Amino acid sequence: MGLPSLPTLSSPSTPNIRSLLTIAGHDPSSGAGITADLQTFAAHRLFGTSAVTALTVQSTLGVDEIQPVDPAFLQRALDHLSADLPPAGIKIGMLGSTEIAATVAAFLASFHRAAGNSTGNHLKPPIVLDPILRASSGADILPPQALDTLHDQLLPAVTWITPNWSELSALTSLPVQTLSEAEAATHTLAARHPHLHIVATAGDHSQPTDLLRLPSGEIHRFIGEHIETTSTHGTGCAFSSALLCLLVLRDTPIEAVRGAKHFVTEAIHRAPNLGHGRGPLNLLWHLS
């Protein structure tokens, strides 16, 4: 089974290729962060630009240190990029600090104004937030006090959010241990942000069933398969980036979630088995 929205390898190049922007951290091991995002964009035949929110000391064995960039520097990088290469969609990953979250929110506000002026509010570019709050080791990636900034400034400016169950619990202050609890938590999050498309991912569970809650209130379930593997580094980054790609390629929300889930599943199945911890995926699997 392939990705129906993915152009074939024989597709001719086009001068109208669309550009996507990832705003995320840098992972030196290339399993997650901007490197994984850019690989995923390329796999879908879309051009990727990036703005780094934080440098990290990490490998497949985990995250050792995080150094957020200067917020003013990030603001200038985003302004320069969007002026020259306005993105058809934006993916947001690790933020790393409250100040960075506020900076990204301010950029999105200006981006929305510019996009509205140029398109007349038609076909607004999708903006997907992967709310990376904690490392797999349990260490905080984003300080708990930054949750207010996410709710008050950032979430109103994005159109999609892709939390795992732990992140969904942190965003709603609700227990999320079962599928029914995850569904209830998506409704709670939507009560505060009714415009959001919410995908609650469950890839780290024995029965990885993802939930899509549409702004209409409809819930759709996507049943996955449990894969016994240590090659799971960056699955959330890959999923949210693939979702953005498919939305930009004009898949419906349901098709985009299904396609992103399939993309990640195949990337896990074909992983190169690298590193001594949680290894990277094969995000260019369809080229092999």
Residue 117 parent element (H or E): helix 98-119
Domain 19-287, CATH class in plain words: alpha beta
Q: What does the pLDDT read at residue 208?
A: 87
DSSP three-state, residue 208:
coil
The residues of the chain scoring below 50 in pLDDT are: 1-5, 7-14, 121
Residue 171 φ/ψ, nearest 5 degrees? -75, -25
Q: How far apart are CA 260 and CA 99, in angstroms?
A: 30
Rounded to whole angstroms, what are the CA distances from 261 to 10, 32, 182, 214, 222?
A: 24, 16, 18, 17, 8
Q: What does the pLDDT read at residue 137?
A: 57
Per-residue pLDDT tens digits for 22-57: 999 999 999 999 999 999 999 999 999 999 999 999
User: Bridge partners of 71?
Assistant: none
Q: What is the pTM of this model?
A: 0.92
Residue carrying structure tokens 């609700």: 174
Q: What does the pLDDT read at residue 2?
A: 43
Order the strands of the 219-223 sheet from edge to edge: 62-68, 47-59, 19-26, 89-92, 127-129, 160-161, 197-200, 209-213, 219-223
- The CA dihedral of 77, 171, 226, 242, to the nearest 10 degrees, is -30
Q: What does the pLDDT read at residue 4?
A: 42
Domain assignments of the chain as residue spans, ordered by start: 19-287
How would you classify the pairing of strands 209-213 and 197-200?
A: antiparallel
Q: What does the pLDDT read at residue 177?
A: 94
User: Bridge partners of 52?
Assistant: 24
